[in-house]
Amino acid sequence: MTGMNLLTLLVMGLIGSQAEAKKTAYLFTYFVGNGEDGLHLAWSPDGYKWQAVAGGKSLLQPKVGKARLMRDPCVTRGPDGTYHMVWTTGWWEDNIGYASTRDILTWSDQKAIPVMAHEPNVRNCWAPEIVWDQDQQEFVIFWSSTITGRFPQTAGSSESDLNHRIYYTTTKDFQTFSPTRLFYDPGFSVIDATLLQAEGRYYLIVKDETRYPPKKHLRIASSDSIRGPFVDLSPPITPPGRWSEGPSAIRIGQYYVVYYDAYRDRFYAAARSKDLRTWEDATAQMQFVKGMHHGTVIEVPMALVEHLEQ
């Protein structure tokens, strides 16, 4: 058996010592430009210093959706070790992209999931995220959409007459999906929701997309359930005047770290907290990959990163 075959089996979770299993790293999915060239990856041993995988090359080309983009890629690991990814296929689509993999290199056929095709007045499906619901033994997928005519009380508060809320569907097999439902309505235009499980609760981090007057910051609500209702919306956790989007959160040591895209100022940023209430700007302590945009962070076996680099 060659070293590569042995390593591949380890990555697939079929063999491996207990000591090897404890060696982990952090993997970041992201896109560059407009998302036209597909999936990019970065990795870090500590969650602070990041470097591009494969020299910054795209590892998966987008093939679905009218616009053929791969923006906002979100990956989660299922209970059987399979990694599932969803993404934004275009600016003005009624679907989201989906593919799966065991090793982040060899992917299933891509498919467009028509999550909002039943809504004739839907304008978009942005920044889908996917999480595993252990209690219900199924995946929850959520994203932001504007449906023309809905929520008239906040009409005109975002650019291009957009007025987003968060919607969701569930699936066990990625063949059949539950009817799309409203996931979160905070009373304002909201996008880029991400979930963090911590302290026995679920924390939903969102972007207030209000443009008039300008908000464009990140806030957090919490719930006892992965599906809400989410309550106790926090004040902004990002600095005043820093337009922020695309959050992704994970616990690293004693801190909860939220990575996000400071898109107007053209840099990636981070906030961290020990208690999910008091936040500090951790951007100066980070080393990000130049040009990265809205992605997600997950913890993976170090063997997977070594496999990707080889």
Measure the CA–CA gap between 294 and 166, rounded to whole angstroms. 17
Tell me: the pLDDT tens digits for 234-257?
999 999 999 999 999 999 999 999
Q: Domain containing 65: what range?
A: 3-309
pLDDT at 294 over 60: yes
Q: What is the pLDDT at residue 309?
A: 87
pLDDT at 15 over 60: no
Tell me: the pLDDT tens digits for 157-189?
999 999 999 999 999 999 999 999 999 999 999
- Residue whose C-alpha is closest to residue 163's, from 198, 192, 190, 193: 190
pLDDT at 260 over 80: yes
Average pLDDT over residues 212-232: 96
Q: What is the pLDDT at residue 18?
A: 54
* Mean pLDDT over the full length of the chain: 93
Q: What is the pLDDT at residue 12?
A: 55
Who's near 5: CB < 8 A, 6+ residues apart?
none
Categorize the per-residue pLDDT at 198 as very low, low, confident or very high, splitting at 50, 70 and 90.
Answer: very high
Q: What is the pLDDT at residue 7?
A: 46
pLDDT at 104 over 60: yes
> Number of folded domains in the chain?
1
CATH number for the domain harbouring residue 261:
2.115.10.20
Average pLDDT over residues 284-296: 97
For residue 111, count other CB atoms closer than 10 A to its CB. Answer: 16
Tell me: the pLDDT tens digits for 48-99?
999 999 999 999 999 999 999 999 999 999 999 999 999 999 999 999 999 9
114 upstream amide cis, omega within 30 of 0: no
